[in-house]
A and B are shown apart, each in its own frame.
Chain A
């Protein structure tokens, strides 16, 4: 899906790089560590999964998304908790107001409705019975369609042709798992693209590799 999260090659982000600080702390403030832990726990408490979590981050409004990494983790934790009926919309804001001395009425705790999706086990690696459709050396072209739902094909690589360089372990399909409609495991391929295929003849010479799910690809 299109959105601010899909940053590869986007001109509006072509600013100077930040300085690398080798001594950078893991968390810059106490709240960042808390946000990290709370987001992981919110994912668990709301019955979500890694893909739903990533999709929740993608649904964070753009200004908030760009305000910072753990800021968007906090926002996505709330989205997952509200989606699953663990928290009422506005519950966090009301509690925040009261914690700083305000007196606002907090919304009632809703009826939970956690998603239920059968899981083929822990993690995201799966076994797929069918043989892989592509082999190392095959030329493949990525799809051009743009889903309005979660996917893992960056926009800069839509409708581009590359070469399969590895068959990776089969994995849960993020496109459906993120929306709790099934794991639909698929074969995954490392696909290498020439820079000029992605960016035109004037591109710097390099290759770029993406790991792509079988349904994103067709034989070139």
Chain B
């Protein structure tokens, strides 16, 4: 193993450090600006929780699709056009009035990119990574998700290349809503299992 430099110059900001790294690789033709831009724009605009929300809304309105989704998450998600890095093998977990799943990655921040995009700050936060595997009910309650004592809590710590998507409960009073309207209700956080989807 290479010895790692113990410290970086604290006066070099991350922005300057990124610029320096970029210029070193650009001038040798090892990378190009267009690819960098494409990566950034893709995850800013095309790949994000709106994809997962479409999956959830379809599962809520189409029982056959839901069955497919729970049996073979990877194929059912790919059928809507969502696949790629960090989504090689998808497992979808259904939250019900009796069972509540919540997902974490304690060793890094593994996250199902094709359906949820890049992880939000709270998912990468040391407090979340440390606490949710030891006191999930306390963590959920702190974020306003109170679970009845009878609810079975299942925590999934993403330690291999399997990626998890939570299928949250469809809120009551949404029976007349269209798939598109439902998708707009589905939050990122409910698809990780830290919150529930609320009725409008």
Q: Which residues of A approach B to under 8 Å, CB–CB?
A: 5-22, 24, 26-27, 29-38, 40-42, 45, 54, 57, 59-61, 63-64, 66, 68-71, 74-75, 77-79, 81-83, 86-87, 89-93, 95-97, 99-100, 109, 123-125, 152-154, 156, 166, 168-169, 171-172, 188, 190, 192, 198-199, 203-213
Contacts and interface: CB of A to CB of B under 8 A. Distances in A.
Contacts, number: 252
Interface stretch (B13-21, B58-66, B174-182): B13-21
Contact of B134 (A8, A40, A213): A8
B14 A71 contact: yes
Contacts of B30: 41, 45, 86
A36 B162 contact: no
29 contacts: A7-B126, A8-B104, A8-B130, A9-B134, A14-B127, A15-B126, A15-B127, A17-B139, A17-B142, A20-B143, A24-B120, A26-B117, A27-B40, A31-B14, A34-B36, A74-B18, A79-B2, A89-B5, A92-B20, A96-B19, A96-B20, A156-B106, A168-B162, A169-B89, A188-B160, A198-B133, A204-B136, A206-B152, A206-B155
Given A7-B130, A204-B138, A209-B154, A20 B48 contact: no
Interface residues of B, number: 78
Interface string B69-112: 00000000000000000001101000000000000101111000
A81 B17 CA distance: 14
Given A41-B25, A208-B155, A100 B16 contact: yes
A37 B156 CA distance: 28
B125 A37 contact: no
A154 B157 contact: yes
Q: Name the 10 nearest CB pairs between A and B, nearest first.
A: A8-B106, A13-B130, A211-B160, A31-B15, A37-B39, A206-B153, A95-B20, A13-B126, A96-B20, A33-B40
Interface in B115-169: 117-118, 120-122, 124-131, 133-139, 142-143, 152-162
B152 A74 contact: no
A41 B36 contact: yes
B107 A10 contact: no
Contacts of B127: 13-18
Given A41-B25, A61-B6, A79-B4, A99 B16 contact: yes
A70 B122 CA distance: 14
B172 interface: no
B17 A206 contact: no
